[in-house]
């Protein structure tokens, strides 16, 4: 976990300071919320929902996205 | 006068696919506007949809129908249909949102949590930190805490850090969800003062406050949300 934290800190500072464009693939929705501005939710090789990260995570529309969001255990 | 926020007939329903697709109506027919320098307080019982309306104005909740007109850099944009990148631009330059709870990036020092919106807006780190320090000082966060991440702070301290972060930018619209909920009298007075300063600066505000005394002190107009109750 501490290595993950350092990697996330590094990635965040690289994006901010070097003005990078980044695509990140993750199952970890907390990581998605922390790092990304926009989210694309994929299922079976298709993009099923896209939008602002906070919008997709706080107001998910598709059944599969609702399932993903409701599967997170609060820390 | 041209309104900064112009909400017309906005509607929100949640469809719960995991509960057999039941529809949960939240609000409908939401219509009101907010002028520069004006603070509109949303009133109504818990669960009436006050926070949902704030989230719709911030673009955090999507609308089913209706219009959320936002004056952004002199042009009215409909946030309900805006592209994600445009919503991000509007949040960077026009709309600030102070939620009830601090959701800070872990491991970041308090002073940087507060200064971050100014740095993102192009201010030098030193100037931004100086402004952040002034605000933290006004909100009675002792200087010895500034270099620590706020994760271990008390609820009231975290809320004050959140308020400092929300009030530091010169954005023309501010949305305030219970900004004084867990504060003592002295700090509530500071927040009332900060809101008054924003009004003098021409900022349009929408607030949710349950404390009658605070509401009386900050509200220029009260909008009763129960009239927007969605038919179940």
- Bridge-partner residues for B69, per DSSP? B6, B78
In a domain, B11, yes or no: no
In a domain, B76, yes or no: no
pLDDT at B11 over 90: yes
Percentage of chain B exceeding pLDDT 90: 87
pLDDT category at A17 given cuts 50, 70, 90 is confident
**What residue segments make up the domains of chain A, in order of their start?**
25-75
B122 torsion bin: left (phi>0), alpha (psi -120 to 50), beta (else) = left
Q: Which residues in chain B have their CB less than 8 angstroms from residue A7's CB?
A: none
**What is the mean pLDDT of the segment spanning B4-12?**
97
Model confidence pLDDT, tens digit, residues A24-51: 999 899 889 988 999 999 999 999 999 9
Contact B98, B174 (CB under 8 A): yes
Q: Which residues in chain B have their CB less than 8 angstroms from residue A5's CB?
A: 106-107
Instruction: Specify the pLDDT at position A13.
Output: 84
pLDDT at B95 over 70: yes
Domain that holds residue B210: 35-62+81-221
Q: Cβ separation of B62 and A51 shorter than 8 Å?
A: yes
Cα(A37)–Cα(A50) distance, rounded to whole angstroms?
Answer: 11
Instruction: Specify the pLDDT at position B18.
Output: 92
ipTM of the complex: 0.89
Q: Cβ separation of A58 and B87 shorter than 8 Å?
A: no
Please name the member of B15, B17, B84 whose beta carbon is closest to the beta carbon of A51: B84
Range from A55-64, B97-106, B113-122, B220-229 carrying the lowest mean pLDDT? B97-106
Q: Which of B55, B84, B105, B118 to mutate to test the interface with A (most CBs of A within 10 A)?
A: B84
pLDDT at B232 over 60: no
Mean pLDDT across chain B: 94
Contacts of A19 by beta carbon, 8 Å cutoff, 6+ apart: none
In this structure, the number of other CB atoms found within 10 A of the CB of residue B187 comes to: 20
Q: Which residues in chain B have their CB less than 8 angstroms from residue A55's CB?
A: 59-62, 84, 87
Q: Cβ separation of B62 and A12 shorter than 8 Å?
A: no
Q: Cβ separation of B61 and A52 shorter than 8 Å?
A: no
Number of domains in chain B: 1
Instruction: Specify the pLDDT at position A1.
Output: 66
Residue B105 touches partner A, C-beta closer than 8 Å: yes
Q: What is the separation of C-alpha B211 from the centre of its chain, rounded to a whole number of angstroms? A: 17
Say which CATH number the domain at B100 has.
3.40.50.300
Percentage of chain B exceeding pLDDT 70: 99
Cα(A22)–Cα(A20) distance, rounded to whole angstroms?
Answer: 6
Model confidence pLDDT, tens digit, residues B21-63: 999 999 999 999 999 999 999 999 998 999 999 999 999 999 9
pLDDT category at A19 given cuts 50, 70, 90 is confident
Instruction: Specify the pLDDT at position B182.
Output: 84
In a domain, B197, yes or no: yes
Residue A31 touches partner B, C-beta closer than 8 Å: no
pLDDT at A75 over 90: no
Contact B164, B132 (CB under 8 A): yes
Q: Cβ separation of A59 and B106 shorter than 8 Å?
A: no
SS3 B163: helix
Instruction: Specify the pLDDT at position B231.
Output: 61
Nearest to B206 by CA among B190, B189, B219: B219
Instruction: Specify the pLDDT at position A8.
Output: 86
Instruction: Specify the pLDDT at position B1.
Output: 58
Please name the member of B18, B55, B61 whose beta carbon is closest to the beta carbon of A67: B18
Instruction: Specify the pLDDT at position A34.
Output: 86
């Amino acid at each position: 976990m501490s290595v993950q934290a350092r990697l996330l800190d590094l990635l965040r500072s690289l994006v901010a300071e070097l003005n990078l464009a980044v695509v990140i693939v993750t199952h970890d929705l907390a990581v998605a919320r922390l790092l990304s501005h926009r989210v694309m939710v994929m299922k079976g090789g298709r993009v099923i929902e896209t939008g602002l990260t906070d919008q997709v995570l706080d107001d998910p529309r598709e059944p599969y996205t609702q399932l993903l969001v409701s599967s997170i255990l609060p820390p | 006068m041209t309104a900064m926020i112009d909400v017309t007939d906005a509607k929100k329903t949640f469809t719960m696919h995991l509960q057999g697709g039941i529809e949960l109506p939240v609000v409908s027919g939401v219509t009101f506007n907010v002028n520069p320098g004006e603070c509109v307080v949303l009133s109504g019982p818990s669960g009436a949809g006050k926070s949902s309306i704030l989230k719709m104005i911030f673009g955090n909740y999507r609308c089913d129908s209706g219009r959320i007109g936002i004056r952004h850099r002199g042009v009215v944009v409909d946030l309900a249909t805006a592209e994600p990148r445009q919503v991000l631009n509007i949040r960077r330059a026009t709309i600030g949102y102070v939620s009830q709870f601090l959701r800070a990036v872990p491991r970041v020092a308090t002073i940087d949590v507060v200064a971050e919106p100014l740095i993102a807006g192009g201010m030098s780190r030193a100037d931004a930190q100086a402004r952040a320090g002034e605000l933290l000082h006004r909100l009675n966060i002792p200087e010895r805490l500034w270099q620590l991440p706020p994760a271990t702070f008390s609820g009231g301290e975290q809320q004050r850090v959140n308020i400092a972060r929300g009030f530091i930018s010169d954005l023309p619209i501010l949305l305030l969800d219970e900004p004084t909920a867990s504060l003592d009298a002295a700090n509530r007075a500071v927040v009332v003062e900060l809101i008054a300063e924003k009004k003098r600066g021409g900022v349009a505000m929408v607030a949710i406050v349950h404390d009658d005394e605070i509401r009386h002190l900050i509200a220029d107009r009260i909008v009763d949300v129960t009239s927007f109750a969605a038919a179940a």
